[in-house]
Amino acid sequence: MAILGPGEIAGELAIIDGRSASVFALKDCELSFISRKNFEKCMRQNREICDYLITVLASRLRETDEALAAASFLTVKARLARALLNLAEFLGEERGSGRILIHHKIKRNDLAAMAGVAAENVSRVMKDWMQRHVVTRSSGYYCLEDIAALKSQLRS
């Protein structure tokens, strides 16, 4: 599962190997579709597209390496902090005093999948963080109250 921002592409592997890709929008967006046939035609005519695609694929491979390293070496708290900070980067709204509201309702199971941990661990860690006012939750929205505390988990 990845969160993509404005101007990014999805389904790049699917268009290369002919498989399919699934995309779910977290908020309103405008998407463009290109068929494999038209993509191949554009690739033959525009070397820049090949260069760009190689750059995107290299970036995705690096992100995958980082996620694999996180799953292998980071603690449960660090993985959850990493997932929340990533969500805040793409979906967050500044609320003053360093607070960031993740303006999208995130289910516990989705957060667990993003962090690569069991849902029960998400509940346990979030309960601790809520008691310490590191994270709050209201009406289904998470608010990151203490960004420094979450970032410190990544260095633990």
Instruction: Locate the domains of the chain by residue range.
Output: 12-71, 75-154
Residue 69 has pLDDT above 80, yes or no: no
Residue 130 has pLDDT above 90, yes or no: yes
What's the predicted TM-score (pTM) here? 0.69
Residue 105 has pLDDT above 80, yes or no: yes
Highest mean pLDDT among 43-52, 73-82, 125-134: 125-134
- How many residues are given for the chain? 156
Question: 94 Cβ partners below 8 Å, 6+ apart?
Answer: 100
Can you tell me the distance from the alpha carbon of 40 to that of 80, in angstroms, rounded to the nearest whole number? 40
Burial 1-34 (b: 16+ CB within 10 A, else e): eeeeeeeeeeeeeebeeeeeeeeeeeeeeeeeee
Question: 57 Cβ partners below 8 Å, 6+ apart?
Answer: 12, 13
Contact (CB, 8 A) for 78 and 153: yes
> Which segment of 18-27, 31-40, 55-64, 93-102 scores lowest on mean pLDDT?
18-27
The 10s digit of each residue's pLDDT in 70-102 is 667 789 999 999 999 999 998 899 998 889 999
The pLDDT confidence band at residue 19, using thresholds 50, 70 and 90, is confident
Can you tell me the distance from the alpha carbon of 139 to that of 120, in angstroms, rounded to the nearest whole number? 21
For the 75-154 domain, the top CATH level (class) is mainly alpha
Please report the sign of the dihedral spanned by the C-alpha atoms of residue 130, residue 135, residue 138, residue 139: negative
Contact (CB, 8 A) for 71 and 79: yes
The pLDDT confidence band at residue 1, using thresholds 50, 70 and 90, is low
